[in-house]
Amino acid sequence: MTIKALAFGIGLATLGASPWAFGEGNPAAGKKKAETCSGCHGEDGNSNAPIFPKLAGQHVAYLSKQLHEFRSQSRGESTMAAIAEPLSDEDIADLSAWFAKGTVHVEEEEGDYSAGERLYRGGNLAKGIPACSACHGPHGEGSGEAGFPALRGQYSAYVAKALREFKAGERRNDRNQMMRDIAAKLSDEDIGAVSDFVSVLK
Ligand code: HEC
Ligand code: HEC
């Protein structure tokens, strides 16, 4: 048997064992369950205030990872811990499927975003900061498979808070410390500029 055929066989066996093996949720069920989330995250995942991250159009795998980590309190201190605590694995899959279907509203541009854009697209060689776009994509689309969240249109205030928390090591759920290592090299100015740029990125 060739390696390819073997891999294919394993793939089929996994699928056969359980259609839910990949945690695929039901968006219709998720929509109902999301009523308790809408006060902060909006009905379709476009949140009402910049301290609440937009969830609309985010990758399913990323949303689901965060909810599991809020529930197990491994993302760090967060108001989401108590909210995620009663959720079952199925709830998490359904809610993630629902919010991923939404379309994120990108913020209106006002002002000069060039410093943030330079950092986002080119990093800073002298300071050893890689380009954000290398992982989060040229349009801030991220990658579901690679576990890189979409950033496009996200509120600047939330992005800045996330970066400050990675920098301080308060948020520590990033695989291989990927974001903590990068955020450690960002100045407050870098954080402000790149967060503003992300909010208008599409
Ligand atoms: C009281 C307001 C509130 C409610 C209700 C709420 N959230 Fe949140 N949510 C937040 C805040 C604040 C954050 C940012 C938390 C942080 O950074 O620690 C957040 C973050 C998240 C994130 C992470 C987003 C990211 O980009 O990393 C997900 C996923 C999420 N919430 C899902 C939900 C779901 C699903 C529900 C309903 C079951 C819900 N939230 C209800 C306030 C709320
Ligand atoms: C090597 C890949 C990589 C690079 C380069 C990278 N990131 Fe990330 N980033 C990640 C990963 C992986 C996560 C998700 C961590 C997790 O699982 O919660 C993440 C998460 C984030 C988050 C949290 C999103 C949310 O919704 O809570 C922000 C904000 C962020 N990155 C901003 C940036 C910025 C700004 C840059 C450039 C200065 C950057 N990233 C460069 C891999 C990367």
Do 114-200 and 20-100 fall under one CATH topology? yes
Report how far residue 22's alpha carbon sits from residue 148's, in angstroms, rounded to the nearest whole number.
Answer: 18
Q: Ligand 2 centroid to 64 CA: how many Å?
A: 16
In CATH terms, the fold of domain 20-100 is: Cytochrome Bc1 Complex; Chain D, domain 2 (1.10.760)
Cβ of 124 closer than 6 Å to ligand 2, yes or no, is no
- b/e 183-201 (16+ beta carbons within 10 angstroms → b): beebeeebbbbbbbbbbbb
pLDDT in tens, the chain (202 residues): 444 444 444 444 444 333 344 568 999 999 999 999 999 999 999 998 999 999 999 999 999 999 999 999 999 889 999 999 999 999 999 999 999 999 999 999 999 999 999 999 999 999 999 999 999 999 999 999 999 999 999 999 999 999 999 999 999 999 999 999 999 999 999 999 999 999 999 9
> How confident is the model over 109-163, as pLDDT tens digits?
999 999 999 999 999 999 999 999 999 999 999 999 999 999 999 999 999 999 9
Cβ of 120 closer than 6 Å to ligand 1, yes or no, is no
Domain ranges within the chain, ordered by starting residue: 20-100, 114-200
Q: 114-200 falls under which CATH superfamily? A: Cytochrome c-like domain (1.10.760.10)
Cβ of 142 closer than 6 Å to ligand 2, yes or no, is no
CA-proximal residue: ligand 2, atom 37 (nearest): 132
Both structure tokens of 44: 């379709």
> Is 105 known as a binding-site position?
no
Report how far residue 11's alpha carbon sits from residue 53's, in angstroms, rounded to the nearest whole number.
Answer: 35
Phi first, then psi: give them for residue 111, nearest 5 degrees: 110, -160
Ligand nearest to the CA of 94: 1
